[in-house]
Amino acid sequence: MTRFEPLHTLPRARDVDDFTDRCDSPREECGVFGIWAPGEEVARICFFGLFALQHRGQESSGIAVSTGSSLVVKKDMGLVTQVFDEDTIRDLQGISAIGHTRYSTTGSSVLCNAQPLLSTSVVGDIAVAHNGNLVNTTALRMELESEGVVFETTNDSEVIAQLLSRHHEGCIEDTVKAVMERIEGAYSLVVLTPDRLLGVRDPYGIRPLCIGRMDQGHLVLASESCALGPVGAQYLRELEPGEIVSIGMDGMKELQGVPTKRHATCLLEFIYFARPDSLIYSKSLHMVRRRMGQELAREHPCPDAHVVVPIPDTGTPAALGYSEAARIPFGEGVIKSRYIQRTFIQPSQKMRDMGARMKYTPLRETLAGRKVVMVDDTIVRGTTTDKLVKMLFDAGAVEVHVRITAPPVRFPCFYGIDMASQDELVAAKNSVEDIRKMIGATSLGFLSLAGATRAVGLSRDNFCSACFDGKYPIAVPNDVRVTKQMLELVPQNSSAGVNSDELELPLLEPA
């Protein structure tokens, strides 16, 4: 067993709006944005790009701006609108900018872990913003520390920042290539130097990253295409796995940083994470989710039901599809509060115990006396779905048939989703019937993996579906538990990870 000693003491992160975090859906990742637009208000454009990506992370936000000769960074804990105001944006003048909105997957939710991260090389400043998770973080960090590097954060993104600053001697594209050859895992990056903006995607393309063009010819990078329209940019394309896009006064250069391994975009981006108005693989996510609902109706019919009700917002397109395929009326049966999101004012324990009732309100008019099909996106821990089912019964539903548009989540994610450890995953140790009893539903049906990929319209080879089937496209360490706090502990000994291209992780034995 690997033994750990404390690296240093960090203030404990406040559990930001913990009562809304304790849900059955996977927790968010991060959003990145970049803009090259000399003569424009790049920080303002970046702000609105991040605002459109706020769903990907609500713990901290930051923007780095290039003046053409140096970089300036502003970041803090909180939502984009809490971190930036008019005066701050007005002060951030420059020719290009990158931004980040964070949900922590490695490193606690504290200010030192907020991004973009700024580092200094022998030829100038570099800022980087990262969506994803590295799997060889610990080995790289220990190597860098042995060379005298002092780390200021406990996130894996600083490993990338430190490698960039140590390799950079003049050509940023060559620097990024050299770093890509050393890091392993999921990463979509935006990198800023005083004279260039770069977009970078890992050789598996696990996390999304796209590029758009504004009317003036200026270029924009974003985690999702939904961030392009609000800033007046037209979608061009996704970056290819392993690709580097470099933008400067000489225009845009498209380079292959490392060879493409395969296309393995996270399937949960299609099911849950990305906004329904985004495109991935040139597919409308709204239509994909609608087709997932249709597939779900075919796989798990409920012919005697009176109404199909979504758990908003991610369940809505699938519920529409279920309704269409099953020919059962669609109804709005649950109202979600749009304002109970992330807040620094903590609820009391009594309010925490109310859980889902603070976030959702049932509509008795839709539910009372009805047999209800309740459509939601995922069940991860099983800690909220039972409350939602009870809420529908309390509102008068006579039957509640739960339908989930993701397959059972049985394995942890190592690539940028703060999902849960395997012993917290309810489907890892329980059958569908066991879960049905736990949540108190009349019946329970999960969409199959084949049905999910059919709905996208592509073969399973195009996705990372490791959290469903345990087949990891990138080898992960076999002796170190990859957790959010792993860099707040230093391993006394470690060995290399497995070398297989596809690692199959066994289920934990029931306790």
pLDDT at 19 over 80: no
Q: Are 75 and 116 in contact (CB under 8 A)?
A: yes
- 467 counts as catalytic: no
Domains and CATH numbers, the chain: 30-264 (3.60.20.10), 285-336+345-456 (3.40.50.2020)
Dump pLDDT digits (tens) for 187-241. 999 999 999 999 999 999 999 999 999 999 999 999 999 999 999 999 999 999 9
Q: State the pairing for strand pair 283-284/279-280.
A: antiparallel
Which helix H or strand E contains 288, and what residues bound it?
helix 285-299
Which residues, 6+ apart, have CB-to-CB distance to 28 below 8 Å?
A: 55, 56, 57, 58, 103, 273, 418
Question: How do residues 136-175 score in pLDDT, each as one tens digit?
Answer: 999 999 999 999 999 998 889 999 999 999 999 999 999 9
How far CA 93 is from CA of 41, 45, 63, 71, 101, in Å, comes to: 7, 11, 11, 10, 20
Q: What share of the chain is helix, strand, coil (3-state, %, to 5)?
A: 30, 25, 45
Report the pLDDT value the prediction gives residue 25, as an integer from 0 to 100: 61
C-alpha 475: how far from chain center: 20
**What is the mean predicted confidence (pLDDT) over 80-84?**
96
**pLDDT of 382 above 60:** yes
Q: Which residue intervals of 107-171 are DSSP H helices?
A: 137-146, 157-167
Q: Check whether 11 has a pLDDT greater than 50.
A: no
The catalytic residue among 30, 266, 302, 413 is 30
Q: List, for residues 293-337, the tens digit of each pLDDT value.
A: 999 999 999 999 999 999 998 899 999 999 999 999 999 999 988
For residue 73, how many other CB atoms are within 10 A of its CB? 18
3-state SS, residue 107? coil
